A and B are shown apart, each in its own frame.
Chain A
Amino acid sequence: MEFAQLCDRVEIDNVSEPLDVSSLAGVWINSNPDTNGIARLEFSDVDGKLSVRVHAIDPDGLIDWGRAPAKLFAASPKSRTTAGFTCTYDFGFAEIRLQAMIMKGLIVLAQFHKFKDNSNRMEFFVREYFAVVHDRY
């Protein structure tokens, strides 16, 4: 078995079950109410595959980015519990790559914004925190 670091060197017995995605279920809200970026993440199962729907803040309020398929990641090569995801939005004038990991019950979302128009805007990176909406207390 090939590996690039010791933690990759694990033997996996027969695995049939998909990753447990319950850790991502629901609606997640940015912990910063004054964000000028992504405000809300919403996950749903579409034909057995998880997708994410993003709403961001623009000068007029919320803007719906639509749904994007989420590629899922566990916490280790042996784990079957989802601990992160990646996805990409391509809007033509800009491509936005999202890389997320779950830490202490929060989604830590890294966002990479690459502009493809002639606006001379520099590529930028933002990292924000999202908490799941719940009604327990």
Chain B
Amino acid sequence: MEFKQSGHLDPALTDPATRTLRTEQLTGRWLNTNPDTQGIAECVIKQDGELFSIDIAGAGPDGPIRWPTCRSTPLANLEEEAGQRVFALSATFEFEFMTAETYIRVNKGVLVIVLFASFRDGSKRSDYVNREFFYRPQPER
């Protein structure tokens, strides 16, 4: 078996149990912990078989800006958080003027989205990286 680091030989990568990790901790509706965010306001993650769909709304001047839905396969997150075996998602959103490459994971019940934005519209804006945190809104009683 080919490898480029010892981690590629981790038996967990071929362990069927790894593929059946619980994914509920990722799915659902998530709101930015910062109500005044200038970035991502909301993220909704749904599971459909082995795929996840990710819907993001950016903060806009007149309300949320809906991003195109992105579909992604989960990645096992084997080593982080003292052996917690969880999933992470990698999702790329394509706009005419920009590509937004993200990775999404849950840490202690908080959803973390790290976004790498690349502009291609000649606006001279710098490509940039940003990280934001999200919580699950409590269901209304």
Contacts and interface: CB of A to CB of B under 8 A. Distances in A.
A75 B117 CA distance: 10
Interface residues of A, number: 60
A44 interface: no
A96 B75 CA distance: 12
Contacts of B18: 122
B129 to A, nearest CB: 4
A4 B98 contact: yes
Contacts of A15: 124
Interface in B100-124: 100-101, 103, 105, 114, 116-119, 121, 123-124
Interface stretch (B23-31, B55-63, B133-141): B55-63
A83 B105 contact: no
A83 to B, nearest CB: 6
A6 B80 contact: no
Interface string A61-76: 0010100000111111
Nearest to A101: B129
Given A77-B128, A84-B116, A121 B8 contact: yes
B75 A37 contact: no
B19 A74 contact: no
Interface in A93-123: 93-94, 96-97, 99, 101, 103, 110, 112-113, 115, 117, 119-123
Contact of B6 (A1, A37, A96): A37
Contact of B125 (A10, A19, A75): A10
A68 B132 CA distance: 28
A78 B126 contact: yes
A30 B118 CA distance: 27
B88 interface: yes
A8 B119 CA distance: 10
A124 B77 contact: yes
Interface of A: 1-10, 12, 14-15, 19, 36-38, 56-59, 63, 65, 71-80, 83-84, 86, 89, 91-94, 96-97, 99, 101, 103, 110, 112-113, 115, 117, 119-127
Interface of B: 1-10, 13-14, 18-19, 38-41, 58-61, 65, 67, 73-80, 88, 90, 93, 95-98, 100-101, 103, 105, 114, 116-119, 121, 123-131
Given A6-B39, A124-B77, 15 more contacts: A2-B95, A2-B96, A4-B93, A6-B59, A7-B130, A37-B6, A71-B127, A77-B117, A80-B126, A94-B4, A110-B114, A122-B19, A122-B75, A124-B7, A126-B79
